[in-house]
Structure 1
């Protein structure tokens, strides 16, 4: 199975969150799905991308955010200790691009046990957050409604 199915996540959400839409769209646009990744929702405004980068060191991986695009790239340096008899761990150059939702920024990245974890936080300004407007009764509407005509059957 080579497709990313986020339908179970969508059913649990109100449908207003575009973060997973953008991550899924980015994954489907690319023909190459290396390296594989997971996307997790930690809370309403915190997310984590976990990208499998086995064999890569921290100086061989780069994480860049430019406006609303996250770019993760890597290139392994040549190991000159010996000659490979079999090389099963991928060592190819990669670059993955993710479109981020508005007001989403990268707060950190850590590499541990072959997983690159990228922390994302969405900071929506107060001016753009939904707000509840109280509804009050107008003093003019307190008068009873007069009936002009009445049909009696």
Structure 2
């Protein structure tokens, strides 16, 4: 007898993508850097805005990259070591990072903004139209 996972239930049809997304989230390794917040901002009639804010102090706009790959929001930061500088104490490390967020189907990126060392990315999910369709039942003799 084979064991069924939650998403392999015969009553959940077409949820394969969700199971794959959960696998991707489980495999993602993040060391907690950079720290981030996720907040819901009430929007107008078009739906709420989800804002992801990352603390990226010391990074310039040119050192940051925000992209969407296969329903994943990927934020990368890359600082280049300045060999001309001689530090007496080095407490702020120049480091790279990659932070990944799995996006649900239909999520749209409105834009990104860098201000005061905080990178904010706004996402929306447009409200789908509610469609009710009547299915005719044919009679067979």
Cα RMSD, aligned residues only: 2.5
| CA shift for structure 1 position 85 | 1.7
- Given the alignment, which residue of 109, 114, 117 partners 2:117? 114
**Larger gyration radius, structure 1 or structure 2:** 1
Counterpart in the other structure of 2:87: 84
Q: State the TM-score, normalizing by the size of structure 1.
A: 0.60
Deviations 1:44-77 (A, max 9, x none): 5211000011100000000001242100001012
Q: Which residue of 1 is the match for residue 62 of structure 2? A: 59
Name stretches of at least 5 consecutive residues in structure 1 with no aligned partner.
1-21, 132-153
Task: Look up the match of 1:35.
Answer: 34
Task: Please list, as runs of the form range in 1=range in 2, the aligned pairs for 1:12-51 lying within 5 A after superposition.
Answer: 26=25, 29-43=28-42, 44-51=47-54
* Higher helix proportion: 1
Q: How far apart, CA to CA, are the structure 1 residues paired with 2:100 and 2:110?
A: 17
Q: Write the deviation string for residues 82-103 of structure 1: whole angstroms up to 9, x where unpaired.
A: 2122222232110010011221
Cα–Cα, structure 1 residues 60 and 66, in superposed 2: closer, same or farther, change >3 Å?
same
Structure 2: state its 5+ residue gaps.
1-20, 133-141
One of 97, 113, 122 as aligned partner of 2:100: 97
Distance in structure 2 (CA, Å) of the matches to 1:72 and 1:48: 14
Q: CA deviation at 1:26?
A: 4.6
TM-score scaled by length of structure 2: 0.65
Number of residue pairs the alignment of both structures matches: 106
